[in-house]
């Protein structure tokens, strides 16, 4: 590609969404997808079924089985075109700033991994080499700045401006340090391009597809389209649970913490993910009530689901306090107060699993009986 030297700046449309931001590999593509209101209905039709995974290194994470992400190829063809071009950039030693400008001018957003040691807008600046991702949506040649979305120095999901020269250093260093940052799985994917598909009309929401994923969530199963997760089962290197059974993996990890008096590979982003998911289910149910005529009983059930969201939010806040108050001194994990709070979290998770299962099963039944999928 060649640089259009007459163009001083360019910026693609983005939405700084906050529905999903526990993990950037879900949050960043959504900032592109949701920038077009035509895809709101697509969003409400997805991000329903979830999985929890204990990876080979012992850490626990969560995933949306039916969500868009750039680290695995699944469920995005209808809304975006996504390509990984990192190996090409590295092989031919292309100028990353020039490549960014050319991509933006051609209508392509980028997700790029760079070493935050060289970026003043980041917590790791001048402290440690840490390779992390940002969504690039624009540039300004006059100010020598790249326009991006990522977590800022206060760990807030935000719009950020990167200096050209600093970003060049950060990218070059990222090509060397990404394996040390624990993202060896991103081999060849340090640079990804995203282009949004164009719809003349709104994406047609399907209550049938929504109900299928909700049923999968309640039954703790996945369908044959979930190739990445099916491969996890086949390899046997990771432990995986789906849907409502995800709660069991959380309680198991917390019980390990009580026994061993140390953090057992369970971090705050994974706990936040659980809250994010409950809040997302509630918003999807409210969306359905806005486009379909429903009876009062169904509205009451959805109101009951709000209590599930509130309980998980309370659990999240207790966990956050426990982890960050005690993060510097693991000896405090054996304290009575700390262990009592962890037991409270386990009790909340066990009760919420049962309550959510009952409420969602009743909602599912009502939606099926009302035949809203016509």
Mean pLDDT, residues 346-366: 97
How does pLDDT run across 277-326, given as a tens digit for each residue? 999 999 999 999 998 888 888 999 999 999 999 999 999 999 988 876 65
Tokens encoding 302? 């959805």
Q: Where does the pLDDT of residue 336 fall: very low under 50, low under 70, confident under 90, or very high at 90 and above?
A: low
337 contact partners, CB below 8 Å, separation of at least 6:
none
Q: Which of 80-89, 114-123, 147-156, 174-183 has the lowest mean pLDDT?
A: 174-183
Q: Where does the pLDDT of residue 98 fall: very low under 50, low under 70, confident under 90, or very high at 90 and above?
A: very high
Query: How many folded domains does the chain comprise?
Result: 2
311 occurs within a structural domain: yes
**Residues 183 and 233 both lie in one domain:** no
**Residues 351 and 212 both lie in one domain:** yes
From 143, 173, 196, the end of a domain falls on 196
Alpha helices in 327-335 (DSSP H): none
182 contact partners, CB below 8 Å, separation of at least 6:
none
pLDDT of residue 34: 95
**Residues 135 and 93 both lie in one domain:** yes
Cα 308 from Cα 314, distance rounded (Å): 10
58 occurs within a structural domain: no
67 occurs within a structural domain: no
Q: What DSSP designation does 139 have? A: E
50 occurs within a structural domain: no
How does pLDDT run across 50-78, given as a tens digit for each residue? 999 988 778 899 999 888 877 655 556 67
212 occurs within a structural domain: yes
How does pLDDT run across 200-255, given as a tens digit for each residue? 788 889 999 999 999 999 999 987 666 666 565 555 556 889 999 999 999 999 99
**Residues 224 and 275 both lie in one domain:** yes
61 occurs within a structural domain: no
Rounded (10°) angle between helices 268-291 and 246-260 = 160
**Residues 30 and 125 both lie in one domain:** yes
Residue 153 belongs to domain spanning: 9-34+80-196
**Residues 109 and 174 both lie in one domain:** yes
153 occurs within a structural domain: yes
**Residues 28 and 142 both lie in one domain:** yes
From 171, 196, 221, the end of a domain falls on 196
187 contact partners, CB below 8 Å, separation of at least 6:
none
**Residues 107 and 173 both lie in one domain:** yes
**Residues 188 and 275 both lie in one domain:** no
**Residues 298 and 220 both lie in one domain:** yes
Cα 332 from Cα 374, distance rounded (Å): 57
From 168, 196, 224, the end of a domain falls on 196
266 occurs within a structural domain: yes
How does pLDDT run across 22-55, given as a tens digit for each residue? 999 899 999 999 999 999 999 999 999 999 998 8
Query: Given a cut of 70, is residue 19 above it in pLDDT?
Result: yes
**Residues 265 and 363 both lie in one domain:** yes
**Residues 150 and 22 both lie in one domain:** yes
**Sign of the CA dihedral running 65, 68, 72, 76:** positive
């Amino acid at each position: 590609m060649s640089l259009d030297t007459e163009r001083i700046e360019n910026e693609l449309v983005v939405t700084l969404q906050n529905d999903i931001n526990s993990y950037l590999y879900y949050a960043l593509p959504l900032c592109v997808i949701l920038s077009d209101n035509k895809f709101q209905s697509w969003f409400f039709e997805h991000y329903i079924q979830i999985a929890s995974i204990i990876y080979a290194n012992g850490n626990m994470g969560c995933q949306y089985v039916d969500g868009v992400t750039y680290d695995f190829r699944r469920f995005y063809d209808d809304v975006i075109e996504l390509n990984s071009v990192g190996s090409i950039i590295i092989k031919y030693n292309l100028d990353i700033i020039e490549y960014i400008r050319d991509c933006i001018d051609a209508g392509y957003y980028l997700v790029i991994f760079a070493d935050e040691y060289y970026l003043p807008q980041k917590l790791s600046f001048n402290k440690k080499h840490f390779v992390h991702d940002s969504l690039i949506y624009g540039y300004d040649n006059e100010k020598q700045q790249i326009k991006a979305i990522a977590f800022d120095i206060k760990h807030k999901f935000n719009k950020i401006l990167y200096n050209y020269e600093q970003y060049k250093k950060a990218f070059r260093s990222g090509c060397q340090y990404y394996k040390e940052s624990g993202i060896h799985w991103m081999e060849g994917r340090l640079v990804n391009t995203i282009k949004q598909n164009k719809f003349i009309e709104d994406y047609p929401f399907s209550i049938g597809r929504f109900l299928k994923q909700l049923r999968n969530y309640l039954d703790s199963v996945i369908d044959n389209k979930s190739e990445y997760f099916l491969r996890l089962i086949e390899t046997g290197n990771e432990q995986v649970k789906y849907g409502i059974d995800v709660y069991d993996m959380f309680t198991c990890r917390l019980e390990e913490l009580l026994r061993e008096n140390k953090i057992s590979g369970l971090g705050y982003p994974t706990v936040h993910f659980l809250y994010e998911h409950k809040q997302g289910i509630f918003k999807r149910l409210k969306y359905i009530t806005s486009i379909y005529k429903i009876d009062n009983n169904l509205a009451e059930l959805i109101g009951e689901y709000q209590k599930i969201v509130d309980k998980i939010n309370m659990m999240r806040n207790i966990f956050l306090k426990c982890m960050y108050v005690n993060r510097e001194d693991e000896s405090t994990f054996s304290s009575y107060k700390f262990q009592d709070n962890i037991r409270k979290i386990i009790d909340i998770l066990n009760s919420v699993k049962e309550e959510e299962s009952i409420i969602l099963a009743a909602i599912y039944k009502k939606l099926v009986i009302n035949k809203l999928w016509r």
